[in-house]
Chains A and B, each alone.
Chain A
Amino acid sequence: MDRREEDFAMKPAGFFALARWEARRLVAERTGVLLIALWCGLLAVAAWQGRAQARDQHAQIAAAQKADLENWARRRALLVEIEAGRKQPPPFGDPRSPTNSVMGRGGERPVVLTPTPLAALSGGSGDLAPPVLGTGMITKLIGPAQSIENPANRLAGPLDLAFVVSALLPLFVLALSFDVLARERDARIWPLLASQPTSLRRIVTARLAVHFLALWLPLAAAAWWATGSSTGGAASLARPAVESGLWLAFAALYLVLWQLLAAVLNFRGRSAASNAVLLAGAWLASVLLIPSMVDAMVQSVAPPPDRREFLLEVRGVETDLFKRADELRDAYYAAHPEQRPQVELNEYDGYYVGNMYPRVLAADAALAPALARLDAERAAQDRWWRGLAWLSPTLAFRLATEKLAGVTPLQRELLVEHAKEFQREMRATYGAQVASMRPLTAADYDRAPRPPIVALSLSRRLRNAAPGLSGIAAATVLLGLWFRRAQRHAHQALATS
């Protein structure tokens, strides 16, 4: 061997050369190709599902806003026609009547919670959390979510990208990396490695980097496509790109966490079969067993609020107020004598104005403590979930990504808060007119408050998701430290073998 050949032989293999070899091995093995194809197939279905769901939400919002504008404009135009004497008012549809036009269901307007770009990646509560809440002066904002979704579908939940990453990605890591080093041990060529100047860390890192890219690149493509195309081209692509980049960075962290676990087990010197069993056990614990136990625990210590008890309370309050309707009406007009109707009301208007409106105002005030209790119970449950989520990386990832996407029930409460605010605005604008039954004019239509379009800011969502995100980051760092220690031990073992 001349000097040049000796130099070449003793030169440690470069990172990229090692990675290229691993990539070739993956392509040459049918299992590797099959796994990547399966992964891409799952991502495609999940991205398609997320995109469809998000587009459907955007379509619902657009349809509700269009219908609202048309309805408002049509009634205003009819009012002008009636005032000009060119048309007769229809029964129960007189645009001049406050009870017909701004008080009842016809006066409801859409308060909207814009889906975040990441909603295409996390299905969340599905149609139980609609993006539009019709809100009027007497709308009950404490009602249940209306839904016609097939309960069998709702029970299983969607195959969204958050599920594919949180539950299935670790399995693909397991399948690709369970023998990242153990394959040499099982093939009894372990001592050969000791004779090479290439460090174990470099070999493992290069191989894991290839696995990482094989899993992460298709995921990135799916996530970007789903978020970018979910708005139907209505918005700029910058925001979806930034948000999905953040989500992908977090997914990368989660992927690295499982890869580090696989690497550490490989450094411990067990056989590939033992590594596979241990990794499968870790997956089973993280995905099924721990979330089940946490769920059971949370249900015991902080069960969801008893809605039936709440319903009884609501009906009790409403019955009591109904019996005191005359007293409430008199009190209302005593406090607002200028709003007393100057004309005699028909049966319909008399009931809505004299009985219902003061009663609705009183009911809102009387039910406020019960609603606050309900919110407190839900918040307590959320605290327990957050507190226990660190027990399973899968659970932590799932909760954090849902919060980041703004699809948890607690975050949806923002829509109700804004709807309440809008209801107060409507009452401030038209309350006196309804109580006095002074006919509406075109100018009254023009001063209608605009229903809000609510958006959950990224900073707020990040704050919500921060505990889960930092938990995953901390676990990854700890595993990284363990990785360094384990590879040092493996080197020593290799040197003495």
Chain B
Amino acid sequence: MLWTIARHELQQIRRDGRLRAVSWLGLALLAALALLGWQTYRREAHERAHFEAAAREQWENQGDKHPHRAAHFGFYLTKPELPLTLFDSGIKPATGRVLWLEAHQRSVFAYSPVEDSGATGILGVTNGAEVLQLLGALLVILAAYGSVAREREEGTLRLLLAQGVSPGRWFAGKCLGLGLGLALVGSPIALGLGLLCWRADPAGFGADTALRGLGLLAGHGIYFAVWLVGTVAVSAWARTSRGALALLLGVWVAGGIIAPRLASTLASLLAPLPSLTEFGQAQVDDFNKGFDGEPGYAARLAQLEKDTLARYNVKTLAELPVGFSGIRMQMMDEFSGRISDRHQARLEAIYVRQNRWHWVTALLGPYVPMRALSSSLAGMDWAHYQHFAEVAEQYRRGVVKSMDQLLERELHGDKWEISMGREVWAQVPAFSYTMPSFRWAFHTAVVPLALVTAWLALAGLVAWIGARRISP
């Protein structure tokens, strides 16, 4: 019986011309964006490799100069990407493509694509994941909104119930049929995208990436199950198929179109960030005046001079057997590093509060948490960017410290000027980075995963009650 109902539902889907048209349109758009993603991924991977090699070559051949000026010349780094980026580019369009590591300053991502984009705030979707999540959900709504309500309108529901068909089994059969239809459309898409990711970078497509890919598949499975079960449930509750469609489209617009922007607006209004000037000025103030009862830079410098003179048992800085400028720079960088950590932690705390507002808008629909889950598994969410930036920051501090130590070692007294060359720059170890594992990514995505699962539970509950009270 269950299979008969499911088969009947599948036939209905197959015959629906509007559904076919929307499916083909959605598939065409998905294919176009996936191919564009593939092209972009391959081009960017090549450009990244070229950029990093050239930047390293420029570092080593920057010429003879003072080590501190070399530290200001700095390094450029780019965040590596997984092949899954071609499906979900996450926050990449809004985040800088390069990190500049320089003396005294915490590295921040710079040059985001949106900065150079001729059109801002484009409404359209820009990667395959968004197409799948937005248009896929719409497709499910169009396929299933009339599944129960239409049978009620046409009087066939009365006939079926009169024949003794259990409403629960009939409902389950509907869901099964629609689910099979969805799987038939979704499987080749998933397989195609998987192959495309693998072909884009066979060497980079390891077990961890495969696990992330499977995670994406499972996550999207849950997401579409939410829409499927939810749509059939609404169809069971609604008096007319038109009413069901209106309600479902309302939820789709609210959750998919309005919620992301409402989230960012509420986040910035209710958990505001300081302005860039305020953020910078607060660090300058901490540097000059000190913080948490600790003295500011001038007092620290005076103490350092006193301590250093005592340590080397000399009366003036000029008599020191080591370069005091190196010691001073180490103290300055260590102090400004602590200030920077302190303010960065405050900034991140505001980001966390802002992200909570994003989770609040998940009440409008499962799209916002699904988008977060997907970009997290693709390695393109803020947590991944932050992980990379933190590793790069530690590397920056190591390089700057090694330059400062050179000054301490090679200079004497209170001299500043010294010149060094390629043999020194070449000794600085190259930056290396390993992407966090699937397990790590999974942990960062627990909240959105829980929210999508909660939506599934809610849809299941509404469906269960709806199935029990089905009446002609």
Contacts and interface: CB of A to CB of B under 8 A. Distances in A.
B116 A159 contact: no
Given A144-B111, A300-B36, A295 B124 contact: yes
A166 B261 CA distance: 14
Interface stretch (B314-322, B350-358, B432-440): B350-358
Interface stretch (A203-211, A254-262, A393-401): A393-401
B261 A292 contact: no
Given A151-B94, A154-B114, A289 B121 contact: no
Given A45-B262, A311-B76, A409 B29 contact: no
From A154, A395, A402, name the one whose CB has the most chain B CB atoms within 10 angstroms.
A154
Nearest to B40: A299
B166 interface: no
B190 interface: no
Interface in A143-175: 143-160, 162-163, 166-168, 171
B67 to A, nearest CB: 14
Contact of B358 (A64, A152, A158, A295): A152
Contacts of A277: 18
Given A155-B91, A322-B65, A304 B123 contact: no
A56 interface: yes
B29 A289 contact: yes
Contacts of B126: 292, 295-296
Contacts of B260: 156
A319 B63 contact: yes
A155 B121 contact: no
A171 B257 CA distance: 11
Contacts of B51: 308-309, 311-312
B18 to A, nearest CB: 7
B119 A408 contact: yes
Interface stretch (B203-211, B264-272, B305-313, B451-459): B264-272
A288 B124 contact: yes
B138 to A, nearest CB: 8
Nearest to A285: B25
B308 to A, nearest CB: 17
Interface string A461-481: 000000000000000000000
A79 to B, nearest CB: 21
Contacts of A307: 97-98, 111, 116
B335 interface: no
From A311, A381, A385, A407, name the one whose CB has the most chain B CB atoms within 10 angstroms.
A311
A159 B63 contact: no
A42 B265 CA distance: 11
A322 B32 CA distance: 46
B393 to A, nearest CB: 15
B461 interface: no
Contact of B124 (A64, A290, A407): A290
B261 A409 contact: no
B11 interface: no
Nearest to A46: B265
Interface in B358-411: 358, 372, 382, 385
Contacts of A398: 119, 121-123
Nearest to B116: A304
A292 B131 contact: yes
Contacts of A151: 91, 94-95, 382, 385
Q: Is the interface of B mostly helix, strand, loop or mixed?
A: helix
A103 B417 CA distance: 21
Nearest to B25: A289
Interface stretch (A8-16, A121-129, A224-232): A121-129
Nearest to B385: A151
Given A150-B273, A151-B385, A307-B98, A288 B264 contact: no
Nearest to B350: A150
A390 interface: no
B275 A293 contact: no
Given A64-B277, A381-B118, A150 B261 contact: no
A381 B120 CA distance: 12
A409 B117 contact: yes
B262 A311 contact: no
A407 B117 CA distance: 12
B258 interface: yes
A48 B61 CA distance: 53
B18 A378 contact: no
B140 interface: no
A152 B117 CA distance: 18
Interface in A253-305: 273, 276-277, 280, 284, 287-296, 298-300, 302, 304-305
A229 to B, nearest CB: 15
Given A49-B265, A311-B76, A125 B120 contact: yes
Interface in A22-61: 42, 45-46, 48-49, 52, 56, 59-60
A287 B135 CA distance: 12
Contacts of B275: 56, 59-60, 63
A148 B269 contact: no
A327 to B, nearest CB: 13
Q: What is the size category of the interface that chain B forms with chain A?
A: 35 or more
B382 A152 contact: yes
Given A130-B276, A158-B268, A291-B122, A315 B55 contact: yes
From B47, B123, B242, B249, name the one whose CB has the most chain A CB atoms within 10 angstroms.
B123
A305 B354 contact: no
A299 B35 CA distance: 12
A384 B279 contact: no
A319 B62 CA distance: 6
Contacts of A315: 55, 58, 73, 76
A345 B135 CA distance: 68
B264 A312 contact: no
B117 A304 contact: yes
B125 interface: yes
Contact of B261 (A158, A302, A395): A158
B248 to A, nearest CB: 12
B291 interface: no
Contacts of A160: 121
Contacts of B134: 288
B119 A399 contact: yes
A56 B29 CA distance: 39
Contact of B116 (A130, A150, A289, A378): A378
Interface string B234-265: 00000000100000010001000110111111
Contacts of B257: 167-168, 287
B416 A347 contact: yes
A154 B65 CA distance: 40
B54 interface: yes
Contacts of A154: 91, 94-95, 112, 114, 264
Interface string A373-384: 000001001101
B276 A148 contact: yes
B124 A294 contact: yes
B104 to A, nearest CB: 12
Contacts of B108: 146-148
A488 to B, nearest CB: 30
A46 B58 CA distance: 47
A292 B124 contact: yes
B58 A316 contact: yes
B110 interface: yes
Given A273-B242, A307-B116, 16 more contacts: A49-B268, A64-B277, A151-B95, A157-B120, A277-B18, A288-B125, A289-B29, A295-B124, A296-B33, A298-B118, A299-B40, A308-B48, A319-B63, A381-B118, A398-B122, A408-B120
Interface of B: 18, 25, 29, 32-33, 36, 39-40, 47-48, 51, 54-55, 58, 61-63, 65, 73, 76, 78, 91, 93-98, 108, 110-126, 131, 134-135, 138, 242, 249, 253, 257-258, 260-269, 273-277, 279, 347, 350-351, 354-355, 358, 372, 382, 385, 416-417
The 6 A-B residue pairs with the shortest CB-CB distance in the complex, in nearest-first order? A291-B124, A292-B124, A144-B110, A304-B116, A153-B264, A382-B118
28 contacts: A145-B115, A148-B108, A150-B350, A150-B354, A150-B355, A152-B355, A153-B354, A154-B114, A158-B261, A163-B123, A171-B253, A277-B18, A284-B138, A292-B33, A292-B124, A292-B126, A296-B32, A300-B39, A302-B118, A306-B47, A308-B111, A309-B47, A311-B98, A319-B61, A382-B119, A402-B119, A402-B121, A409-B118
